[in-house]
Amino acid sequence: MQLADASLGTLIEKWERFFYDYCKEEIDSAALMYPEKKSLILDYWAIDTHDAEMAEFLLEKPYISIYAAESALKKIDMPVDPPPQLHFRVKNLPEIQKIGIRDLRSQHLGKFIAVDGLVKKVTEVRPKLEDAAFQCLRCGAIIHEPQEGNILKEPLECYEDQGGCGRRTSFRLLTEESKFIDSQKIEVQENPEELRGGAQPLRLTIYLEDDLVGNIVPGDRVTVNGILHGQQRRRGMIKLTEFNKVMDASTVEQKEQAFEEVQITEEDERKIIELSKDPLIYNKIRDSIAPTIYGLDKEKDALALQLFGGVAKHMPDGTRIRGDIHILLVGDPGTAKSQLLRYISLLAPRSIYTSGKSSSAAGLTASAVRSDEFGEGRWTLEAGALVLADLGVACVDELDKMDSKDRAALHQAMEQQEISVAKAGINATLKSRCSLLGAANPKFG
């Protein structure tokens, strides 16, 4: 029987059988660690190995599949009483499900997909209604209404099966009787190194719930596995036919490595080994930096060393000494400083280019901003250029044109390689482990 034609009860039975046969040990472990651990997180390939049809149905109809899986979890015998209500989450989706933010289309709505990106904004953690309790203003009965989405759903009537009067009437929300979960919104943008020349990064709003919240800060590079859906746009009270693309996250995988794994062929490896034996390799590396700019050999030597970088040292007392090199190029106008910065920003796998003349301290480091559309009028944390360049190179031109107060904001980011933000009730420390390449004209130059 095809799963698409199967009843919900049949689907729940298949998940229950899968959990008993393959995941009982993981479920017991999660139950014993509750509430520190609130989810059963499975690798997609573990499901695919057991039942390829069930795994395919999970990708095509994720909301139904996750509901069936969580319903099956409630039927599993657990070593604690009362048994906890675990979330069912999936990680490590197949590569074919990894879609670029720029490539998201209407055909992906309602599908289980993975998105790579850079966290640009995060909101504060807020309580969200999961099960709302209403009191009937006619008979006083308390009616429970499960909540889905972001719009409050009130009871259609005072339900008789919950002890109500069965009439259509007015209700009062009882927050003390309702059930809440933590929720948070993040905004993820395309990775800078994946952009075509001159393209502006596109962004995607993602909703996190319960045990996913509070673990992400601006500047983090993440892979989000979740369900893409549409959120209807409004103009005042008028509902439009256009929808915004948003995602409900299932799992968030944080990337700690500096760069994606580079695919090297055997021919590439042979050439690298051959070049490593060349006694003039340093000169060749130097000459390959901005070859259209004549001379400036010492400057190019320094830029080559900056691109390769050093190694951060962790001392016995817990302090960290940075391994990144910061460079300031000072010279008269017309000496190719800006061209060198442009070339390095294109050459480095991860880089940000900005001009100090038009940059503020908040734009370079981080800021707390009030956003009406993203944060519903609340304060959100937004990453600046140095945070976005984490584990890469930040190129800042026209440093001498920058205001001295804004320039002072670079000191902590350059030395400590982190940025502290304390504003509007938001206290956070963001990573800025990048090399800074600056350019400036001398005084009166």
Of the chain, the percentage scoring pLDDT greater than 90 comes to 9
> Is the same domain home to 199 and 51?
no
The predicted model gives 53-62 an average pLDDT of: 90
Higher pLDDT, 374 or 295: 295
Question: How many domains is the chain partitioned into structurally?
Answer: 4
The predicted model gives 223-227 an average pLDDT of: 93
Region of residue 260 (phi > 0: left; psi between -120 and 50: alpha; otherwise: beta): beta
Confidence of residue 256 (pLDDT cuts 50, 70, 90): low
Higher pLDDT, 376 or 65: 65
- Ranking 121-130, 318-327, 349-358 by mean pLDDT, the lowest is 349-358
Q: What confidence tens digit (pLDDT) does each residue in 398-407 have?
A: 888 888 888 8
Q: How far is CA 149 from the centre of its chain?
A: 20
| pTM of the predicted protein model | 0.72
Residue 4 has pLDDT above 60, yes or no: no
Confidence of residue 216 (pLDDT cuts 50, 70, 90): confident
Distance CA 218, CA 185 (A): 12
Handedness of CA 227, 228, 229, 235 (dihedral sign): positive
Q: Of the candidates 182, 207, 225, which is a domain's last residue?
A: 182
- Ranking 179-183, 228-232, 239-243, 377-381 by mean pLDDT, the lowest is 377-381
Residue 378 has pLDDT above 70, yes or no: no
**pLDDT value for 261:** 47
Burial class from Cβ neighbours inside 10 Å (0-12, 13-18, 19+) for residue 22 reads middle
Residue 259 lies in a domain: no
Residue 421 has pLDDT above 80, yes or no: no
CATH number at residue 326: 3.40.50.300
Of the chain, the percentage scoring pLDDT greater than 70 comes to 93
> Is the same domain home to 156 and 248?
no
The predicted model gives 362-371 an average pLDDT of: 76
Residue 260 lies in a domain: no
The predicted model gives 31-50 an average pLDDT of: 87
The predicted model gives 317-324 an average pLDDT of: 83
Compute the mean pLDDT over every residue in the chain, rounded to the nearest whole number: 84
The predicted model gives 370-388 an average pLDDT of: 71
> Is the same domain home to 133 and 75?
no
The predicted model gives 169-192 an average pLDDT of: 88
Asked if residue 401 lies in contact with residue 357, where contact means CB atoms within 8 angstroms, the answer is yes
Residue 324 lies in a domain: yes
**pLDDT value for 204:** 92
The predicted model gives 33-40 an average pLDDT of: 85
> Is the same domain home to 250 and 336?
no
Residue 261 lies in a domain: no
Distances in Å between the Cα of 430 and the Cα atoms of 119, 338, 371, 434 are: 11, 28, 20, 12
Specify which residues 419 forms β-bridges with: 430
**pLDDT value for 163:** 83
Confidence of residue 336 (pLDDT cuts 50, 70, 90): confident
Residue 339 lies in a domain: yes
> Is the same domain home to 306 and 402?
yes
The predicted model gives 26-34 an average pLDDT of: 85
> Is the same domain home to 116 and 250?
yes
Distance CA 221, CA 366 (A): 16
> Is the same domain home to 197 and 168?
no
> Is the same domain home to 322 and 250?
no
Residue 439's closest CA among 304, 309, 345, 331?
Answer: 331
Residue 1 has pLDDT above 60, yes or no: no
**pLDDT value for 6:** 62
**pLDDT value for 167:** 84
Residue 197 has pLDDT above 70, yes or no: no
> Is the same domain home to 172 and 247?
no
Residue 306 has pLDDT above 60, yes or no: yes
Residue 262 has pLDDT above 70, yes or no: no
Highest mean pLDDT out of 101-115, 138-152, 345-359: 101-115
> Is the same domain home to 215 and 309?
no
CATH number at residue 29: 3.30.1640.10
> Is the same domain home to 146 and 291?
no
CATH number at residue 106: 2.40.50.140
Residue 259 has pLDDT above 60, yes or no: no
Residue 2 has pLDDT above 80, yes or no: no
Handedness of CA 59, 61, 65, 66 (dihedral sign): positive
CATH number at residue 149: 2.20.28.10
Identity of the amino acid at 92: N
> Is the same domain home to 132 and 178?
yes
Q: Which structural domain range is residue 162 located in?
A: 128-182
**pLDDT value for 196:** 66
The predicted model gives 41-59 an average pLDDT of: 88
Residue 381 lies in a domain: yes
Higher pLDDT, 330 or 378: 330
Identity of the amino acid at 123: T
Residue 39 lies in a domain: yes
Distance CA 307, CA 344 (A): 8
Residue 359 lies in a domain: yes
| Pairing between β-strand 320-321 and β-strand 112-123 as defined by DSSP bridges | unpaired
Secondary structure of the chain as H, E, C letters: CCHHHCCHHHHHHHHHHHHHHHCHHHHHHHHHHCCCCCEEEEEHHHHHHHCHHHHHHHHHCHHHHHHHHHHHHCCCCCCCCCCCCCEEEEECCCHHHECCHHHCCHHHCCCEEEEEEEEEEEECCEEEEEEEEEEECCCCCEEEEECCCCCCCCCCCCCHHHCCCCCCCCEEECHHHCEEEEEEEEEEECCHHHCCCCCCCCEEEEEEEHHHCCCCCCCCEEEEEEEEEEEEEEECCEEEEEEEEEEEEEEEEECCCCCCCCCCCHHHHHHHHHHHCCCCHHHHHHHCCCCCCCCCHHHHHHHHHHHHCCCCEECCCCCEECCCCCEEEECCCCCCHHHHHHHHHHHCCCEEEEEHHHCCHHHHCEEEEEECCCCCCEEEEEECHHHHCCCCEEEEECHHHCCHHHHHCHHHHHHCCEEEEEECCEEEEEECCCEEEEEECCCCC
